[in-house]
């Protein structure tokens, strides 16, 4: 059973790495490296296997499916099962505060609520019925979002800050990105739910990391392990040091130590992404706009071959109105005022 749990956690690490690489591969500088790596792999992996992998990747990342939603729930269930089975009972024996131990479960309930809202809420789909309404929300900058441009797929006029999602096959108002973990686009109408989902997910991972760390430290303090001595490989008596304590804890509580490592890495990754999303919200940018604006800088990268016609363009953020106005726009979407007027 222990080996199975460790293997599943290792698989989770690998999946996080794969998704991170897939997100990073959207940047043009990274695409050059990915292309070269793909060329090298093409000489190693048989063609039939490569085709199967490409079909699988296309299904996972370029079509709407619930694979990552199910995987998300499985991983979350595994982590909370380990926390309940390994840490909760032992912490009660050490007389930890019950409120302190129940905090991850409270965060789980809130997280699942916002997870469901992120999955099911309409992100701001543009249709014939609301096309004119969305065209009034944001002004065109005549650069990144010029006037009188039609979507060739939906045959609709494209409002400023909108984008056609090839995965969902629809144009989305204030398009941010398509998230495979919620199987939905993130747009004007569900970005606030996505931020709360990300915040509670980061908080739950960080809380578990703190509880696990405090438990292990408390265990060492109660057992007076740091006062013990041992005989090293050379037969000399030596005082217990930090390395010995870590080795002892890993051998005695391998699942708890591995869970701690997993939630620490997860907290760091989620926390970094949360900070990035909060930066975008504070400056009234979307991921799509940030990426397209960053391409101007990336065009100067000497390792990427750009066509001669690709001239660097300077992106000016004309939608930022100050911190509080930007945050109010996230949590009270501008189109809501237009909808109330229409009613």
- Annotated catalytic residues are 179
Q: Which residues contact 261 (CB under 8 A, 6 or more apart)?
A: none
Could you write out the DSSP letters of every residue in 267-313? Answer: HHHHHHHHHHHHHHHHTT--HHHHHHHHHHHHTT-TTS---TT----
How would you classify the pairing of strands 170-172 and 177-179? Answer: unpaired
Q: Which residues contact 198 (CB under 8 A, 6 or more apart)?
A: 270, 273, 274, 277
Classified as helix, coil or strand, 146 is: coil
Most distant CA atoms of the chain, gap in Å: 85
Tokens of 293: 């604006």
Distance CA 22, CA 39 (A): 17
| CB neighbourhood size of 20 (10 A) | 12
Chain centroid offset of residue 234 CA: 48
Q: Nearest-5° angle of CA 213, CA 218, CA 82?
A: 45
Tokens of 230: 């041992």
Distance CA 128, CA 327 (A): 29
Asked whether 171 and 156 are in contact (CB, 8 A), the reply is: yes
Distance CA 237, CA 233 (A): 10
Q: Which residues contact 245 (CB under 8 A, 6 or more apart)?
A: 220, 225, 226
Chain centroid offset of residue 314 CA: 28
């Amino acid at each position: 059973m222990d080996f199975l749990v460790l293997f599943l956690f290792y698989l989770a690490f690998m999946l996080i790495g794969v998704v991170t690489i897939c997100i990073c591969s959207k940047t043009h500088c990274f695409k050059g490296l990915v292309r070269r790596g793909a060329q090298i792999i093409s000489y190693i992996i048989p063609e039939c296997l490569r085709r199967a992998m490409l079909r699988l990747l296309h299904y996972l990342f370029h079509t709407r499916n619930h694979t990552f939603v199910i995987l998300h729930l499985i991983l979350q269930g595994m982590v909370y099962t380990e926390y309940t089975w390994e840490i909760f009972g032992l912490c009660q024996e050490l007389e930890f505060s019950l409120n302190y131990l129940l905090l991850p479960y409270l965060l789980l309930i809130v997280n699942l609520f916002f997870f469901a809202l992120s999955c099911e809420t309409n992100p701001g789909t543009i249709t014939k019925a609301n096309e004119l309404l969305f065209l009034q929300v944001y002004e065109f900058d005549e650069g990144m979002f010029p006037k009188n441009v039609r979507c060739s797929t939906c045959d609709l006029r494209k409002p400023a800050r909108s984008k056609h999602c090839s995965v969902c096959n629809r144009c989305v108002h204030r398009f941010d990105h398509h998230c495979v973990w919620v199987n939905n686009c993130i747009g004007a109408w569900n970005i606030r739910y996505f931020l709360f989902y990300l915040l509670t997910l980061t908080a739950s991972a960080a809380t578990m990391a703190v509880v696990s760390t405090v438990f292990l430290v408390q265990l060492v303090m109660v057992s007076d392990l740091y006062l013990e001595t041992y005989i090293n490989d050379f037969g000399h008596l030596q005082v217990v040091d930090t390395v010995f304590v870590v080795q002892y804890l890993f051998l005695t509580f391998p699942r708890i130590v591995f869970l701690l490592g997993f939630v620490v890495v997860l907290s760091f990754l989620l926390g970094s992404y949360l900070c990035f999303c909060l930066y975008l919200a504070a400056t009234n940018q979307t991921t799509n706009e940030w990426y397209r604006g960053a391409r101007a800088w990336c065009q100067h990268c000497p390792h990427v071959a750009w066509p001669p016609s690709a001239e660097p363009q300077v992106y000016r953020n004309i939608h930022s109105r100050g911190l509080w106005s930007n945050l109010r726009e996230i949590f009270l979407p501008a189109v809501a005022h237009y909808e109330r007027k229409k009613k």
